[in-house]
Amino acid sequence: MFFSLSKILWAIFNPGAVLVIVIGLGTAALLTPWRALRRIGRGLLVAGASALVAIAVLPVGYWLLAPLEARFAPPDTLPEQVSGVIVLGGAIDLKTSVGRGRAQLNEHAERMIAFADLARRYPRARLVFTGGSGLLEEQTDRESDFVPEILRAMGVDPARVMLEREARNTRENAARAKAMLAPAPGEIWILITSAAHMPRAVGVFRALGWPVLPYPVDYVTTPSGGGPGFELTRSLRAVSLGVHEWLGLFAYRLAGYTDEVVPGPQTPDGQGRG
């Protein structure tokens, strides 16, 4: 229920869809013979156009993403040995991969690059890819089905990697991976996912009693800030990513999947930092 509802609501309320709805309604209202509706239509068009200009000119998406990407820093040094490495799905464009009959990576491809790098760095570690299908309309093909092809291209033996192909979202990633692996207390597990997604992912693993070592990748922002500069497509994508993560954080907290709205690094006493 949570999965289906989240997909439906996001399809309606993602920033791109909202702008299309606002501008579409404004245009339709302007074409009516009623003065009051035309006045409302002008207001909607002004609001939609203003939002587009703001997104194109101002680094709105970067303002949303920067605090999330800064929440967990990449590890300065990695342990000599780890129990395992987990990478969350999301790097494979499932629709295009199925349509083309071969694996197609998207803007989150660095997850797989980091996974392959750590696989070579830790030849004895257990390796896990968890990712099914995040698509609402069909659940036949899964991201995991295309992972062996990618790993072979990156020089990693697919036989080393355990594939979890049922998870549809971050909560299911963590829960199904834990059920599969049964991690023991004191084990060190590296978690790979996008930097902006890391707070929600760590929060879910932590709530399940599985502390992980964050390995953030796929950065969108830079430490000095700034934006793409009059690149509407890129800016709108950044806004969409930022809104999606913030809404996800609040939704997961309300659902009880995390213990904090914005999980952060733990202090020596095991408490999360605000």
pLDDT for res 222: 85
Query: 109 and 207: one domain?
Result: yes
Query: 186 and 125: one domain?
Result: yes
Rounded Cα–Cα distance for residues 49 and 169 (Å): 34
The answer to the question of residue 63 being in a domain is no
Query: 149 and 201: one domain?
Result: yes
Query: 90 and 187: one domain?
Result: yes
The answer to the question of residue 271 being in a domain is no
Query: 97 and 127: one domain?
Result: yes
Domain boundary among 220, 239, 254: 220
Rounded Cα–Cα distance for residues 152 and 29 (Å): 55
Query: 85 and 158: one domain?
Result: yes
The answer to the question of residue 258 being in a domain is no
The answer to the question of residue 68 being in a domain is no
The answer to the question of residue 202 being in a domain is yes
Query: 109 and 32: one domain?
Result: no
CATH of the domain at 199: 3.40.50.620
Range of the domain at 33: 2-57
Query: 81 and 29: one domain?
Result: no
The answer to the question of residue 225 being in a domain is no
What is the number of domains present in the chain? Answer: 2
pLDDT for res 263: 94
Query: 94 and 52: one domain?
Result: no
Query: 51 and 155: one domain?
Result: no
pLDDT for res 64: 93
Query: 150 and 81: one domain?
Result: yes
pLDDT for res 230: 65
Rounded Cα–Cα distance for residues 17 and 102 (Å): 30
Query: 187 and 154: one domain?
Result: yes
pLDDT for res 137: 66
Which stretches in the chain have pLDDT values below 70? 3, 134-139, 225-230, 267-274
pLDDT for res 266: 74
pLDDT for res 225: 64
pLDDT for res 7: 72
pLDDT for res 57: 87
pLDDT for res 141: 87
